[in-house]
Amino acid sequence: MDEYGIAKRGLLIRHLVLPNRIAGSFKVLDFIAKSISKDSYVNIMEQYRPCFKAYAFEELSRGIIKEEFDEVLEHAEKLGLHRGFYQKGTPHS
**pLDDT recorded at residue 88:** 61
Closest by Cα among 50, 70, 69 to 59: 50
The pLDDT value given to residue 87 = 64
**Residue in 47, 28, 37 with CA at minimum distance from that of residue 81:** 37
CB 59 within 8 A of CB 20: yes
- Using one digit for the tens of pLDDT, what is the confidence trace for 50-77? 999 999 999 999 999 999 999 999 999 9
Q: What is the pTM of this model?
A: 0.84
For residue range 21-58, list pLDDT tens digits in order.
999 999 999 999 999 999 999 999 999 999 999 999 99
Dist. CA 52–CA 27, nearest whole Å? 27
Q: Count the helices and strands in the chain (H runs, E runs).
A: 2, 2
